[in-house]
């Protein structure tokens, strides 16, 4: 039994007429009649009662009809699913996010998937430092990464999405929290919360900023996760220099203040240079268009 036999049978059953069914199937009537006879021989039962005026389903035909319709519907649905996957409209996307990008860019990415690729399953990993993301990309454990360049693992391509100013996160009530803007020099003697220096691009940029300004801080404490860092700021454990996107993490007891001379840190999209997956390529291009556009709108 072939699928075309089922399609021919369903067409005749629906039209109750071989000529009209043949027209609908875009074939001539004699081959259609032959194929139905072949199907009946294979099933060992007549499916149609034929008269000169009309074609009716037999009892066997009435039993067979819903199953044939269901089989064809399943096959069509399976074909549609495979085609959607092959064309990049469905499948699984695994995306990593730098900790400081988890609060502004992660919701944007989720909204883009929901709007443009509703049949895609999205798996998001937040609070990933650049070394973790580039290794995961190289080992195909991630499909795309939103990270802080530079990337040092061969075979990983990047494109800058934004250049974000460093801003101050200060406890509410702290003298600096009431200022409209501060300078790096104002941080002299402050207890500073920062990312682990050996692996964090932001921590390196903060250290470079302090050196360039000749500013000596008080105590320094490393905190691995952005959410934990901001929670410690709220608790009065210190201040932090963080990328501007962290503003999206609102927490009671924390004030964000611009820093005039703190410089910027880049945010980039990363992917494998030899990537061929239609879905990953499609979504990569979507992110490059929409995330970059949102960044430019905020800058304006």
Average pLDDT, the chain: 91
Predicted confidence band of residue 293 (pLDDT cuts 50, 70, 90): low
What φ, ψ does residue 105 adopt, rounded to 5°?
A: -80, -35
Cβ atoms 120, 279 nearer than 8 A: yes
pLDDT at position 299 over 50: no
Q: Is 212 helix (H, G, I), strand (E, B) or coil?
A: helix
Q: What is the pLDDT of residues 130-156, one digit of tens each?
A: 999 999 999 999 999 999 999 999 999
Q: Is 292 helix (H, G, I), strand (E, B) or coil?
A: helix
Return all residues near 271 (Cβ < 8 A) that are at least 6 apart. 137, 143, 144, 145, 156, 157, 280, 284
Domains of the chain, start order: 3-86 (1.10.10.10), 92-157+272-299 (3.40.190.10), 162-265 (3.40.190.10)
Predicted confidence band of residue 300 (pLDDT cuts 50, 70, 90): very low
Return all residues near 75 (Cβ < 8 A) that are at least 6 apart. 3
Q: What is the pLDDT of residue 54?
A: 82
Angle, helices 18-25 vs 29-43, to 10°: value is 100
**Distance from CA of residue 216 to its chain's centroid?**
41
Angle, helices 29-43 vs 3-15, to 10°: value is 110
Predicted confidence band of residue 294 (pLDDT cuts 50, 70, 90): low
Query: What is the radius of gyration, based on Cα positions, of the chain?
Result: 31
Q: What is the pLDDT of residue 86?
A: 75
Q: What is the pLDDT of residues 6-37, one digit of tens each?
A: 999 999 999 988 888 899 999 999 999 999 99
The encoded tokens of residue 13 equal 């059953």
pLDDT at position 199 over 90: no
Instruction: Please give the average per-residue pLDDT across 261-289, as a whole number.
Output: 94
Which segments of 35-155 are extended strands (E)? 48-50, 55-57, 91-97, 120-125, 144-147
Global model pTM greater than 0.75: no
What percent of the chain stands above pLDDT 70? 97
Helix then strand then coil, % of the chain, to nearest 5:
50, 20, 30
């Amino acid at each position: 039994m072939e699928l075309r036999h089922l399609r021919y049978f369903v067409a005749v059953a629906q039209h109750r007429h071989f000529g009209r069914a043949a027209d609908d199937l875009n074939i001539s009537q004699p081959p259609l009649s032959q194929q139905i006879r072949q199907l009946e021989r294979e099933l060992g039962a007549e499916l149609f009662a034929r008269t000169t005026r009309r074609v009716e389903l037999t009892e066997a035909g009435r039993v067979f009809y819903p199953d044939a319709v269901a089989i064809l519907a399943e096959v069509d649905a399976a074909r549609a699913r495979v085609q959607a996957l092959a064309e990049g409209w469905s499948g699984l996307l695994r995306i990593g996010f730098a900790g400081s990008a988890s609060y502004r860019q992660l919701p944007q990415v989720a909204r883009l998937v929901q709007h443009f690729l509703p049949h895609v399953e999205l798996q998001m990993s937040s609070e990933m430092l650049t070394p973790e993301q580039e290794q995961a990309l190289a080992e195909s454990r991630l499909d795309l990464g939103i990270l802080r360049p530079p990337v040092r693992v061969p075979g990983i391509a990047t494109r800058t999405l934004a250049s974000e100013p460093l801003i101050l996160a200060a406890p509410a009530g702290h003298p600096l929290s009431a200022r409209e803007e501060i300078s790096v020099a104002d941080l002299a003697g402050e207890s500073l919360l920062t990312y682990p220096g050996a692996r964090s691009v932001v921590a390196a940029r903060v250290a470079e900023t302090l050196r360039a300004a000749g500013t000596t801080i008080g105590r320094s404490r490393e905190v691995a996760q952005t959410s934990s860092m901001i929670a410690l700021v709220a608790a009065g454990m210190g201040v932090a220099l963080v990328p501007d996107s962290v503003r999206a993490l609102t927490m009671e007891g924390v004030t964000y203040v611009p820093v005039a001379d703190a410089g910027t840190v880049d945010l980039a999209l990363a992917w494998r240079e030899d990537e061929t997956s239609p879905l990953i390529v499609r979504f990569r291009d979507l992110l490059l268009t929409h995330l970059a556009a949102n960044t430019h709108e905020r800058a304006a």
